[in-house]
Amino acid sequence: MRHLTTLRAGLSALLVVGAWATIGPASASAADDALPAATRAATAAPQPASDGLLAAMGKDFGLTPAQVRTRLAAEKTATAKEPAARRAAGASYGGSWFDAGTGRLTVGVTDARAAAAVRAAGADVELVAHTQRALDRAKSGIDALAAPDGVASWHVDAEAGSVVVNVVAASAKDEEVRSFLAEARATGPVTVRQVAAAPRTFAAGTVGGDPYYTGNVRCSIGFSVYGGFVTAGHCARAGASVRGWDGSAIGNFQGSTFPGDDYAWVNVANGWWTVPVVLGWGTISDQLVRGSAEAPIGASICRSGSTTHWHCGTVLAKNETVNYSQGAVYQMTKTNVCAEGGDSGGSFISGDQAQGVTSGGWGNCSTGGETWHQPINEILNRYGLRLHTA
């Protein structure tokens, strides 16, 4: 790859070295004093939160920079406690989620006798009617059904104690949708919700000046791995060649799956190299990637993509099956972060932890919408890849 000297070059591809900001410790505040000791300690440590990130999240969440720092620290604490709290719940585990109101992790249990052990692990407890295993079993039964176009997606909702099936409002009364819902209810507890539109993938036709192209399709780079980067599977099939923003060759799709899953990875050659960075596109400083700890439901999450650049929102659901027109995709994470065509494959990140690659959704960044991503750890395990971290 030829030498790049302009600011545009520095911001245009994840594989080109970007500006790495050094983040200092958060300042103390009255809000910090109200936090538990473990969270205060996390707040006092260096945080992956530049002034730009604090401002971007503040805009999307309606929070002050101090409140964003407090939330990020609380989410980091909740993420760290989730594995131990899940183990403490044992067979009665009924799912977990981050409560933005309390700033704490909540774990559902079906047996009150497990509550003390869960609290000892640092989580709040809520009694629920069904275990996570039972709800997952019901969802698997729905996965086996043939879903009509009017059914957008379905996922386990631990707080609701059921499998939530999302139906496009305009199709809610269609006979095939009603028939599908009747079959779905036979698998276990089901709640039906209406959504504004059907999901679609976010690939786009060729437009100049964006991260990568394959054929006449533009998509976005997800995360650097040693030897390449991960992205969305619907962008191209294995073997397809990839060009960078400047038209120079990067490499080829080494593996790609869609539908069923929506992930792929591309090798890096021809003078390109990898760095553990997610682009801030001038909205915020480029963000370092330090790991891939999975954020809980309810946690904040941000997305970087080549069309709409940087936006933030909340994790709404996990293990959701999304019914695209091309076929169903399983084990997706749903967020209320917006996206548009060309953002496919781009990065979802929570703090400094990689979360997944953008798949698709509905809506846009003018009126809002929802977007799904394929979890990063699943992609790494599938292809035997190692995330490039700082």
Question: The domain spanning residue 161 has which CATH number?
Answer: 3.30.300.50
In a shared domain, residues 194 and 213: no
Q: Which amino acid would we find at residue 328?
A: A
Within a domain: 23: no
Within a domain: 341: yes
Phi then psi for residue 297, to 5 deg, are -55, 135
- DSSP code at position 26: P
**Buried b vs exposed e over 348-369: b needs ≥16 C-beta within 10 Å?**
bbbbbbbbbbbbbbbbebeeeb
Query: Token digits for 47?
Result: 């945080």
Greatest pairwise CA separation for the chain in angstroms: 64
Q: Does 24 have pLDDT greater than 80?
A: no
Domain endpoint, select from 133, 167, 198: 198
Q: How many domains does the chain have?
A: 2
CB 138 within 8 A of CB 163: yes
How much is the mean pLDDT over the chain?
A: 86
Cα–Cα distance measured from residue 370 to residue 144, given in angstroms and rounded to the nearest whole number: 24
| Rounded alpha-carbon distances, angstroms, from residue 185 to 121, 148, 163, 182 | 35, 16, 9, 5
Peptide bond into 48 cis (omega under 30): no
| Rounded alpha-carbon distances, angstroms, from residue 300 to 151, 269, 291 | 27, 35, 16
Beta-carbon-side half-sphere exposure of residue 46 (alpha carbons within 13 Å): 7
In a shared domain, residues 301 and 369: yes
Q: Does 11 have pLDDT greater than 70?
A: no
In a shared domain, residues 227 and 317: yes
Tell me which residues are annotated as active site. Answer: 234, 262, 344
H/E stretch holding 228 reads strand 228-231
In a shared domain, residues 211 and 192: no
CATH at residue 248: 2.40.10.10
Q: At CA 25, angle to CA 42 and CA 274, rounded to 5? A: 90
Write out the residue range of the structural domain in which residue 251 sits.
201-383
What pLDDT band is residue 46 in, cutting at 50, 70 and 90? low
Cα–Cα distance measured from residue 366 to residue 279, given in angstroms and rounded to the nearest whole number: 21
Q: Picking from 78-92, 132-146, 195-209, which range would have the lowest pLDDT averaged per residue?
A: 195-209
pLDDT of residue 49: 63
Q: What is the mean pLDDT of residues 231-235?
A: 97
What pLDDT band is residue 260 in, cutting at 50, 70 and 90? very high
In a shared domain, residues 224 and 185: no
Q: Does 13 have pLDDT greater than 50?
A: no
In a shared domain, residues 241 and 318: yes
Q: Does 364 have pLDDT greater than 90?
A: yes
Domain endpoint, select from 166, 198, 230: 198
pLDDT of residue 54: 81
Within a domain: 59: no
pLDDT in tens, 72-93: 999 999 999 999 999 999 999 9
Q: Picking from 17-26, 30-39, 122-131, which range would have the lowest pLDDT averaged per residue?
A: 17-26
Cα–Cα distance measured from residue 354 to residue 387, given in angstroms and rounded to the nearest whole number: 9
Beta-carbon-side half-sphere exposure of residue 354 (alpha carbons within 13 Å): 35
Q: Does 16 have pLDDT greater than 50?
A: no
pLDDT of residue 210: 61
In a shared domain, residues 157 and 210: no
In a shared domain, residues 311 and 190: no
In a shared domain, residues 172 and 257: no
| Rounded alpha-carbon distances, angstroms, from residue 339 to 76, 94, 345 | 25, 31, 11
Within a domain: 137: no
Query: Token digits for 53?
Result: 């990130």
Within a domain: 209: yes
Cα–Cα distance measured from residue 73 to residue 270, given in angstroms and rounded to the nearest whole number: 40
Q: Does 252 have pLDDT greater than 90?
A: yes
In a shared domain, residues 321 and 362: yes
Q: What is the mean pLDDT of residues 45-53?
A: 62
Q: What is the mean pLDDT of residues 281-285?
A: 82
pLDDT of residue 283: 82
Within a domain: 180: yes
pLDDT of residue 169: 95
Q: Tell me the sheet residues that pair with 291.
A: 353
In a shared domain, residues 161 and 219: no
Helices 65-89 and 37-44 cross at an angle (nearest 10°) of 130
Beta-carbon-side half-sphere exposure of residue 299 (alpha carbons within 13 Å): 30
Within a domain: 258: yes
Q: What is the mean pLDDT of residues 258-274?
A: 93
In a shared domain, residues 290 and 363: yes
Query: Token digits for 283?
Result: 């909205």
**Buried b vs exposed e over 92-106: b needs ≥16 C-beta within 10 Å?**
bbbbbbbbbeebbbb
Q: Does 191 have pLDDT greater than 80?
A: yes
